[in-house]
Structure formats: C-alpha cells, structure tokens
C-alpha cells in the first residue's frame, strides 16, 4: 500500500515509544489520602480498600514520611472522630482529631510534602451529611458555609497547607477565602472539589470513614448526567478564588476533566476515588487484570485528559512503579 501516514512507525521499539509519549505521569503530582481514626491505637485495614488502613494519630508521622520517601507530592487527611453530633462540632475544635492529625502531618512533612485536609462535615455529623440540617432535614447551604468557615480556621491554625473543600455548598470557596484572609491566613491554598458528582463509586470510602449516612447526597453533589454543569461549577469556584479545581470521580468523568482543563487557568486535579481503586483491586485479586498495568493506565489516562494532580489510594505503589520505569 502507498500510505503517506503510517502511525505504527513510531511504535516500533520501546525507545521510539518513550520518545514520542505525550504525557509522563510523575510521583510529584500524586496525592495520597490518609484516614486517621481517633479510637484506634493500631492501624486497622479497610476491607473494601485493600492495602489502605485507618491509622491511629500516632501513625500519621510514619505515613507522611513514607509519602516523602516515595517522592509523592501531597497527602490528603480525613479523620474519624470518637463523637459525632448534629453540627459536626469536633471539626472546629483545635483538639479535634482532624486538626491534631494536620499538626502531626505538617510536622512530619517539612517542605517535602504538601499537607491537605478534607474540609467537609460528613465525618463529623451523626447523620452523616456534609452539612447542617434545617427543620425539614435538608442540608442548609448558608448555615453549613458558616460552619465551614470555622472549620477552615481550625485547619489553618493547625498548619494545613491546602484545604480540600469537598462539601459542594454554593458559595463555599469565596466565604472560606474571606474567613481565612481576615485572620491572616492568606497563604493557605484552597483546592475546590468543584465538580463532585453524587457517585456510586464512593462506596468503599463510606467504610473507610465509618459513615452513618442514610439516603444520598443528591441535593448537593452533582447529577452524573451533567457535563456542562461540571464546567460551570469549576468556573464558579475559580472565580470565587479556588487555587486548584478538582473533578471527582475521575475515570467515569474524563470528559469533565478535559472540559475543566481546557477552560481553567488554575491547576486541575482528579480524584481516582475509592470505588475506582477497589474495582482494579478486586479484578486484580481474581487474576482478571494486571494490577500494576491497570493502575498505571488509569493514572496515565487521568493525566492525558488534563489532570495536573491526581489523588489516588495507589499513590505509593504508583510512585515506586514510575521510578522503576524511568
């Protein structure tokens, strides 16, 4: 055949493929979620997230040091408090478990690892919703944002470098930015979970945080059917002052990742969530797919779609594999 284009020419050898590769994921763009449980004094495995554990506070230091050793860019802290109430009070207390964990992590991180904290009430409320409820049991947007402002200040005082705003309340980014700036925390960055969908893929996370949620989050998290709205949410958050915008989950929403990357002038993150991780783990455990290759392909796909930062439970393994392949 007389073909002017033979794309296979650039696939002939490993050296050629390496030369022309369009994206090169790096450990520095990975963020590892960590779960800290107030009632534990030894790590406890999370059944539905193989390889991931709930840590006692005393385990935070070693976990952050391991992340630094692996060359990972950051850690994202989640915490499970002993006591939950309707307002999620423990989230705002300086000796609340998340704020103690932040201080531990920051001390261990030095300038090697960026310490991010989840800013949301679902781990702290007895009803498991991401905010406070009105008389009819609906999550009250503006009252919740007031609590988020106090939670943000507690996290900033504990030393967090980045606050991960995952509650999906309207106006939360601007309100938290204002509260921080007023107290002199203008250097604390905001990672907005800008396009966060009401997803079935958060299943294992509910085990990871001992969630007590009944029902769903569809009055505040987004409808999986909506692509344009993902771009809108990201644009609003950027306009409100988000330093980084995130799309979550990741692989089922790569169209949204690509849209947000195309329109944003701030870094874009993608969260490869618990159910996405568990899918790979479960299939690999059955011998149905190759674990290493699948995790690396998932990461490559998120970066190819436009993610600058990837939050993933496989961050430590990925960092090691990327180093081997380099």
Residue positions annotated with a catalytic role: 196, 248
**Spacing of C-alpha 163 from chain mean position:** 11
Please report, as residue ranges, which positions from 16 to 55 form the binding site for ligand PBG (by CB under 6 A): none
Residue 233 binds to ligand PBG (criterion: CB under 6 A):
no
**CB nearer to ligand PBG: pick between 164 and 306:** 164
**CB nearer to ligand PBG: pick between 185 and 202:** 202
Closest approach, Cβ 262 to ligand PBG, in A, equals 25
Cα 39 to Cα 50: distance, rounded to the nearest angstrom:
21
Answer for which of 102, 120, 176, 192 binds ligand PBG (CB under 6 A) is 120
Closest approach, Cβ 95 to ligand PBG, in A, equals 21
Answer for which of 35, 124, 185, 205 binds ligand PBG (CB under 6 A) is 205
Closest approach, Cβ 30 to ligand PBG, in A, equals 14
Residue 204, CA distances (Å) to 35, 50, 59, 87, 165 in order: 12, 10, 21, 24, 20
Residue 166 binds to ligand PBG (criterion: CB under 6 A):
yes
Residue 220 binds to ligand PBG (criterion: CB under 6 A):
no
Closest approach, Cβ 120 to ligand PBG, in A, equals 4
Only segment of 93-101, 115-123, 234-242, 282-290 that touches ligand PBG (CB under 6 A): 115-123
Residue 122 binds to ligand PBG (criterion: CB under 6 A):
yes
Query: Helix 60-70 crosses helix 97-109 at what angle (to 10 degrees)?
Result: 40
**CB nearer to ligand PBG: pick between 103 and 168:** 168
Residue 202 binds to ligand PBG (criterion: CB under 6 A):
yes
Residue 242 sits at the vertex; the CA angle it makes with 196 and 137, to the nearest 5 degrees, is 45
Residue 144 binds to ligand PBG (criterion: CB under 6 A):
no
Query: Would you call 166 exposed, middle or buried from its count of C-beta atoms within 10 A (0-12, 13-18, 19+)?
Result: buried
**CB nearer to ligand PBG: pick between 177 and 196:** 196
Token output for 169: 């309340």
Only segment of 61-69, 118-126, 235-243, 293-301 that touches ligand PBG (CB under 6 A): 118-126
- Residue length of the chain: 326
Contact status, residue 93 vs residue 99, Cβ threshold 8 Å: yes
Residue 265-284 contact track with ligand PBG, rule CB under 6 A, x = bound: --------xx----------
Only segment of 104-112, 116-124, 147-155, 295-303 that touches ligand PBG (CB under 6 A): 116-124
Interacting residues toward ligand PBG by CB under 6 A:
118, 120, 122, 130, 166, 202, 205, 217, 273-274
């Amino acid at each position: 055949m007389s073909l002017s284009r033979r794309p296979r020419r650039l696939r002939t050898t490993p050296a050629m493929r390496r030369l022309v590769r369009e994206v090169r994921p790096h450990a520095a763009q990975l963020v590892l979620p960590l779960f800290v449980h107030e009632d534990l004094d030894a790590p406890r495995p999370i059944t539905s997230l193989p390889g991931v554990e709930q840590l006692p506070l005393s385990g935070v230091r070693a976990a952050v040091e391991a992340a630094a050793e692996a060359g990972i860019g950051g850690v994202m802290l989640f915490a499970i408090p002993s006591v939950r109430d309707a307002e999620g009070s423990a989230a705002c207390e300086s000796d609340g478990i998340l704020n103690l964990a932040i201080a531990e992590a920051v001390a261990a991180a030095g300038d090697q690892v960026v310490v991010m904290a989840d800013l949301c009430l679902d781990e702290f409320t007895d009803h498991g919703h991401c905010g406070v409820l009105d008389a009819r049991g609906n999550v009250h947007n503006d009252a919740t944002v007031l609590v988020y402002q106090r939670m943000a200040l507690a996290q900033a005082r504990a030393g967090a470098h980045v606050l991960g705003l995952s509650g999906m309340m309207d106006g939360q980014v601007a309100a938290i930015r204002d509260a921080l700036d007023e107290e002199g925390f203008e250097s604390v960055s905001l990672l907005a979970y800008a396009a966060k969908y009401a997803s079935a893929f958060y299943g294992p996370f509910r085990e990871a945080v001992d969630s007590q949620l009944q029902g769903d989050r569809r009055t505040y998290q987004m409808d999986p059917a909506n692509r344009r709205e993902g771009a809108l949410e990201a644009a609003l958050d950027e306009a409100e002052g988000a330093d980084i915008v995130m799309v979550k989950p990741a692989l089922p929403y790569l169209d949204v990742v690509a849209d947000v990357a195309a329109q944003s002038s701030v870094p874009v993150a993608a969260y490869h969530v618990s159910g996405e991780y568990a899918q790979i783990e479960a299939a690999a455990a059955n011998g149905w797919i190759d674990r290493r290759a699948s995790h690396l392909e998932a990461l490559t796909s998120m970066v190819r779609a436009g993610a600058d930062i990837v939050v993933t439970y496989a961050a430590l393994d990925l960092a090691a594999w990327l180093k081997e392949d380099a």
